[in-house]
Structure 1
């Protein structure tokens, strides 16, 4: 068990996490959801972001550098397919492990260098997705630390922790000082600058900020061996993700952007849900995906949320 968890954590740290921004102008048809769309009349769709956008490990690695771990089954590819975008009309420059800084600087991976992602934007761009922010708050490192501490707790044969506690939370929150909330606020400032720069480079595009899907369940008791977390730390990590999503919504509003909620439709499909329904894989994936990242079902759900929000805002 420990060996599998350690392997899962290693894969998790190699990938990173998400936020998403979509910029689009068009009308049209989504054959999967029944939403009507047509491709943008001008300009390509450019996908920017980190591993929740890239979809490492899902299926059919695509693009360069290989170290970015992009999948041909990630949600940008699904959105592009629904919109009928082909060839030069669709570019995915997302990269696992990216932070907001990697949108404006080159990112070095274990297998190649990804150019600054914002270079893919132009004045003709009409559709852009950006998934960034989770790595800025070191969410992968937080999960690794909480898993390591949770593994120290003795477990019964039923898989329930004997000690109903949050040992990991105490490393981040002391009295009124919440180190994670401080990082979220700093990330919000960076996101505001990113949205302004995206607007400058793609002035004709409409902007939507897309939240993280639910990674952990509402009931902490429902997440046992799949994640090796003490129940109190399940609550702690879930609350931090929700605070991150709240920041994304607020910053989107301040920037005049729309907001795509992937958290609500993914409720009940978290990493601790049963294999056949989960959108997010646990530390030891049972379906093709990186640890604690969306599987094919999750990327499809995220694509549907993006398309639905776009239709609703037209």
Structure 2
């Protein structure tokens, strides 16, 4: 009799244990997903220049609480978040100054880089201050750089990211087109110059997308997200020439929230 009770008790315990492992639907219990370890790299489009609310401790890097990496981290509570993106960064700056937090535990990386290498800010200055012909010529120089020099520089950065963070999902973010053509602007640079600027932005995005894909990284193309929100649109998410001057041609807080954040989140 006692032996039978022991068997019955053991069977009951086994059933209870089995139910707890299977869960309410009878499915095998899954281990809890590991918390994200997120590292945000890149240039001013990732640090959040133009979006305001900067971390005073970030100095000239101008890391904004409104930047898409900071917003994603606030919403998703990763177990660790390292924000090293910096205004003005080029590929060499990423390699020299931003990759320290990457390691085998890193699960998620974001990066936008390449615009400064191609001299896009200098080219924009040429377009604003000089003639249409000078603008078109300067954008041609940038396009040549993007085609022939930038790919190897991107490869160096992407290869180093993968070497340091072999398990991470890497999301490369591109750049928006700057102007809505035939839009609401009645002063400023010519429509031909605006078209040349957009063509260079498109070329930069296309080359970056190809290099990201060749490294097995996801590419977050923000051009569609910013369509209807370029400069000269009725609801721009990009600053035109403004003060402080460094904010010019960068996403506003709305551009980070409505443009970059959902594109990144869809790949993260």
Which residue is 1:292 aligned to?
249
CA contact (8 A) 2:68 2:261 kept: yes
CA contact (8 A) 2:95 2:157 kept: no
In structure 2, C-alpha distance between the alignment counterparts of 1:240 and 1:118, rounded to whole Å: 28
CA contact (8 A) 2:231 2:240 kept: yes
Q: Does 1:95 align with 2:57?
A: no
Which residue is 2:62 aligned to?
69
Ranges in structure 2 where 5+ consecutive residues have no aligned partner: 1-31
CA contact (8 A) 1:42 1:124 kept: no
Which residue is 2:158 aligned to?
195
Greater CA radius of gyration, 1 or 2? Answer: 2
CA contact (8 A) 1:215 1:271 kept: yes
Q: How many residues end up aligned between the 2 structures? A: 235
What are the Cα deviations for residues 90-141 of structure 1, in whole angstroms up to 9, with x where unaligned? 1111110010000122xxxxxxxxxx10112111111111121100011011
Q: Does 1:146 align with 2:127?
A: yes
- CA displacement at 1:281 relative to structure 2: 1.2
CA contact (8 A) 2:50 2:253 kept: no
After superposition, the Cα gap between the structure-2 partners of 1:193 and 1:40, relative to the gap in structure 1 and judged at 3 Å, is: farther
Q: Does 1:306 align with 2:260?
A: no
User: Counting helix residues as a fraction of each chain, which structure ranks higher?
Assistant: 2
Which residue is 2:13 aligned to?
none
- CA displacement at 1:57 relative to structure 2: 4.5
- CA displacement at 1:200 relative to structure 2: 0.3
TM-score (structure 1 length as normaliser): 0.69
TM-score (structure 2 length as normaliser): 0.80
Which residue is 1:172 aligned to?
138
Ranges in structure 1 where 5+ consecutive residues have no aligned partner: 1-38, 106-115, 151-165
Higher relative contact order (CA 8 A, sep 6+): 1
What are the Cα deviations for residues 38-85 of structure 1, in whole angstroms up to 9, with x where unaligned? x97255211111111111242322163411111111110111122123
1:22-171 matched pairs, under 5 angstroms: 41-42=34-35, 44-62=37-55, 64-85=57-78, 89-105=80-96, 116-150=97-131, 166-171=132-137
**What's the RMSD between the two structures over aligned residues?**
2.3
In structure 2, C-alpha distance between the alignment counterparts of 1:74 and 1:306, rounded to whole Å: 11
In structure 2, C-alpha distance between the alignment counterparts of 1:149 and 1:40, rounded to whole Å: 55
